[in-house]
Chains A and B, each alone.
Chain A
Amino acid sequence: MEFEEKQYTTLNLGPTHPATHGIFQNVLTMDGEQIVAAEQTIGYIHRAFEKIAEHRPFYQITPLTDRLNYCSSPINNLGWHMTVEKLLGVKTSKRIDYLRIIIMELARITDHLVCNSVIGVDSGALTGFIYVFQERERVYEIYEEVSGARLTTNMGRIGGFERDLSIRAVKKIREFLDHLPKVLHEFEKLLMRNRIFMDRTIGVGPISAERAVNYGFTGPNLRAAGVDYDVRVMTPYSSYEDYEFIIPVGTQGDTYDRFCVRQQEIWESVKLVRQALENLPEGPFHMDVPEFYLPPKQEVYSKMEALIWHFKIVMGEIEVPVGEVYHSVEGGNGELGFFLVSDGGRTPFRLHFRRPGFIYYQAYPEMIRGGVLSDAILTMSSMNVIAGELDA
């Protein structure tokens, strides 16, 4: 008797599947529960940011960057400001740098909290997720104090911040720093040495250091594979060289290592925020960049100079240097790069966002091949694929 030809099942994981945590599709070819092949379709929330950026003055591009990795918008905002400052040759004061580090590290904490608690959710532990979301809420209240917004923050301005850190914001940051460690300890107790969680994540979705570098991995996902590359240390920006912190590194590059690296980075970020707050120097909260930094509204109404600058900035009558710069910051998911080409016009001639998620998500089919569907879902959540960053 002849055997029938082997048949595979095609399974659509997404575009709107609860486990993708965003809008993108994976077409899986399944042999029973085993994954034979996967093909990704992305672009469902593509918003043409690079085209829009070519038609927007520099200060109006910040809100576009909010919507890349929306779990840590302030890092994108400040990264963009630093790129423009690099083009202009503006050196920011220590106070601005330290304030930026506070904001960026808080953003990293929220990014990692969401990612790690979602790994818990996808392995069946909803408690931790709900628990740490309370802490994320606290950070969002700090954002609110600093910028007035919560999710899409539009934080800071080119040359610094729109206002100084208020007493209330400092108080909220201190409260957060006091409260977070307790919550984190409990969260770690729930998952870190939990037998079920370890069995579900160890050895799941691994990638070797060599393949990870070849795939352009950066950030926690690369470090989980054992490569100690962190933009904050390799090319310090915003005075990261003044700080004491550790870059946690994994060994296996699997889901558990990615979880542990992110978890440890939260602790390091707490240390960084603490150091920045304790050593916060006095000084201006914005630099003198009259061609890009909008003057305060009261002055616009009462002083001629301020009114002129306001008008010049809004109508685009400003001098922009010609040149090309590439600037990168350590985003929540890895190296977030901005390649900016300026031809001296009011808007960028070309702006390219190097989104870490877009680059490392390519490796997903290779990482899940041969595994089972439930592992594939854990792998995806541990890579922290954010649809906004994927599609730009």
Chain B
Amino acid sequence: MENALIVDKLYKAFGRDILKMDTDADILSVTVAHPVIHEVIRFLKEDGDLEFNMLTDLCGIHYPDRGLPLGVVYHLHNLPENKRIRIKTFVTLADPSVSTVTDLFSSANWMERETYDFYGILFTGHPNLKRILNVEYMDFFPLRKEYPLEDPTREDKDDRFFGRNTQ
């Protein structure tokens, strides 16, 4: 399957909601507006020519300097044709909600819970959105960049001493 076909189909179906297309990356990467993410994933899965039938990976990402800082990255895979695609969508910190894809892929269940657990992205329509790896009473989202790795109250554990960047 050629990238051009996927690009073409996505533009025809979603037009202005396709925000960015990167065909030079190792995997075709598409950034879409967050309100249409569910439709995009459904289209990629159910379209007769595309049939991305496996959700390989789903994870969060945080760019504190951007206007839409929180992101969700989906890696889809068409197994018979061995074609991969990366879909990204970004939301604000104030309203970090993204539609769930658990109705399309059962595998998304825990991956979305993990993303919620670490980044606080709310997957609307998720059947059981609660923390998965961290303790339930935790009141912050540890993979966001503002949280340092080491205990910030300690002076002997400053990462700058080791040439590392702290946020």
Interface residues of A (CB under 8 A from B): 42-43, 46, 48, 50-52, 54-57, 86, 211, 213-216, 227, 229, 234-235, 315-317, 323-328, 335, 337, 339, 341, 345-347, 350, 352, 354, 358-363, 391-392
B105 A325 Cβ-Cβ under 8 A: no
Within the complex, the shortest CB–CB distance from B86 to chain A, in Å, comes to 7
A346 B25 Cβ-Cβ under 8 A: no
The CA of A346 and the CA of B160, in the complex, are separated in Å by: 12
Q: How large is the interface on B (under 10, 10 to 19, 20 to 34, 35 or more residues)?
A: 35 or more
| Interface residue from A55, A56, A86, A354 paired with B56 (Cβ < 8 Å) | A354
10 intermolecular pairs with C-beta atoms under 8 Å apart: A50-B118, A86-B26, A213-B53, A216-B107, A324-B29, A325-B26, A339-B75, A346-B165, A358-B114, A362-B107
A316 B27 Cβ-Cβ under 8 A: no
For B128, the closest partner residue in chain A by CB is: A39
A211-B106, A215-B107 are known contacts. Are A316 and B163 too (CB-CB below 8 A)?
Answer: yes
A216 B133 Cβ-Cβ under 8 A: no
The interface residues of chain B lying within 8 Å CB-to-CB of A211 are: 106
User: B99 at interface (Cβ–Cβ under 8 A)?
Assistant: no
User: B149 at interface (Cβ–Cβ under 8 A)?
Assistant: yes
For A228, the closest partner residue in chain B by CB is: B79
| Interface residue from A326, A335, A347 paired with B86 (Cβ < 8 Å) | A326
A359 B61 Cβ-Cβ under 8 A: no
Interface residues of B (CB under 8 A from A): 25-27, 29, 53-57, 59, 61-62, 73, 75, 79, 82, 84, 86, 105-107, 109-111, 114, 118, 131-135, 142-143, 147, 149, 159, 163-166
Most buried by A among B29, B86, B107: B107
The interface residues of chain B lying within 8 Å CB-to-CB of A213 are: 53-54, 79
Q: How would you classify the secondary structure of chain B's contact residues: helix, strand, loop or mixed?
A: loop
A326-B26, A326-B27, A362-B110 are known contacts. Are A341 and B149 too (CB-CB below 8 A)?
Answer: no
| Interface residue from B61, B109, B110, B131 paired with A341 (Cβ < 8 Å) | B61
Q: How would you classify the secondary structure of chain A's contact residues: helix, strand, loop or mixed?
A: mixed
B142 A51 Cβ-Cβ under 8 A: yes
For A345, the closest partner residue in chain B by CB is: B165
The interface residues of chain A lying within 8 Å CB-to-CB of B143 are: 50-51, 54
B56 A335 Cβ-Cβ under 8 A: yes
B134 A43 Cβ-Cβ under 8 A: yes
Per CB-CB distance, the 7 closest pairs between chain A and chain B, nearest first, are A216-B107, A43-B133, A352-B59, A316-B163, A46-B133, A354-B57, A55-B149
The interface residues of chain B lying within 8 Å CB-to-CB of A52 are: 149
Q: Contacts A55-B149, A216-B105, A315-B163 known; list 6 others, CB within 8 Å.
A: A50-B143, A54-B149, A57-B164, A216-B56, A359-B110, A360-B107
Within the complex, the shortest CB–CB distance from A19 to chain B, in Å, comes to 22
| Interface residue from A51, A229, A347 paired with B165 (Cβ < 8 Å) | A347
A48 B165 Cβ-Cβ under 8 A: no
The CA of A138 and the CA of B106, in the complex, are separated in Å by: 40
The interface residues of chain A lying within 8 Å CB-to-CB of B105 are: 214, 216
The CA of A319 and the CA of B142, in the complex, are separated in Å by: 28
A50-B118, A235-B82 are known contacts. Are A323 and B25 too (CB-CB below 8 A)?
Answer: yes
Within the complex, the shortest CB–CB distance from A159 to chain B, in Å, comes to 19
The interface residues of chain A lying within 8 Å CB-to-CB of B79 are: 213, 227, 229
| Interface residue from B86, B109, B134 paired with A46 (Cβ < 8 Å) | B134
For A316, the closest partner residue in chain B by CB is: B163
For B79, the closest partner residue in chain A by CB is: A229
The interface residues of chain B lying within 8 Å CB-to-CB of A352 are: 57, 59, 73
The interface residues of chain A lying within 8 Å CB-to-CB of B56 are: 216, 328, 335, 337, 354
The CA of A324 and the CA of B62, in the complex, are separated in Å by: 14
Within the complex, the shortest CB–CB distance from B40 to chain A, in Å, comes to 18
B106 A391 Cβ-Cβ under 8 A: no
A326-B75, A339-B59, A391-B133 are known contacts. Are A214 and B27 too (CB-CB below 8 A)?
Answer: no
The CA of A55 and the CA of B143, in the complex, are separated in Å by: 12
The interface residues of chain B lying within 8 Å CB-to-CB of A43 are: 131-135
The interface residues of chain A lying within 8 Å CB-to-CB of B25 are: 323-324
B110 A358 Cβ-Cβ under 8 A: yes
The interface residues of chain B lying within 8 Å CB-to-CB of A323 are: 25
The CA of A326 and the CA of B133, in the complex, are separated in Å by: 23
The interface residues of chain B lying within 8 Å CB-to-CB of A316 are: 163-164
A337-B56, A337-B75 are known contacts. Are A363 and B164 too (CB-CB below 8 A)?
Answer: no
A346 B163 Cβ-Cβ under 8 A: yes
